[in-house]
Amino acid sequence: MVAEANRENIMSTIKIKAKESKGSVTVRTLIKHPMETGQRKNKKTGEKIPSHFIQEVTCKANGEEVINVYWGPAVSKNPYLTFVYEGSKGDTIELSWLDNQGNRDSNKVTAK
């Protein structure tokens, strides 16, 4: 897991699609993350695989926070999130996450 992966040569874990229609921007995001609950056991060693899941997802549009999301380990692996806010084409949308092991990532797109 990369700590900070928002550099050009490292693929972001965050894929974002943002589309504006009638003054509302619908944001859809898919994040690459194991979302490990901490309950699964390693089949070989029998030990529990440590929990590793995204706890917080924040989205800003043009620098202003539009939603703050708290997730628990019951959110599916490679989690998906969709939400809607009042916005315009051309909005700069920045999505970031923080997990329980202190890792983060963020990514930006322009609303179409």
Residues 6+ apart with CB under 8 A from 36: 49, 50, 51, 52, 53, 73
Single out the segment in contact with other proteins by CB under 8 A; choices: 41-49, 53-61, 101-109: 53-61
Single out the segment in contact with other proteins by CB under 8 A; choices: 41-49, 67-75, 101-109: 67-75
Least distance between other proteins and beta carbon 3 (Å): 18
76 touching other proteins, by CB under 8 A: yes
Residues 106, 95 contacting (CB under 8 angstroms): yes
Among 19, 28, 41, 48, binds other proteins (CB under 8 A): 28
Classify burial at 63, counting beta carbons within 10 Å of its beta carbon; exposed 0-12, middle 13-18, buried 19 or more: exposed
104 touching other proteins, by CB under 8 A: no
* Cβ proximity to other proteins, 34 vs 108, nearer residue: 34
Q: Which two tokens stand for residue 15?
A: 């894929």
Helix (H) or strand (E) segment spanning residue 108:
strand 104-110
Among 69, 104, 106, 108, binds other proteins (CB under 8 A): 69
1 touching other proteins, by CB under 8 A: no
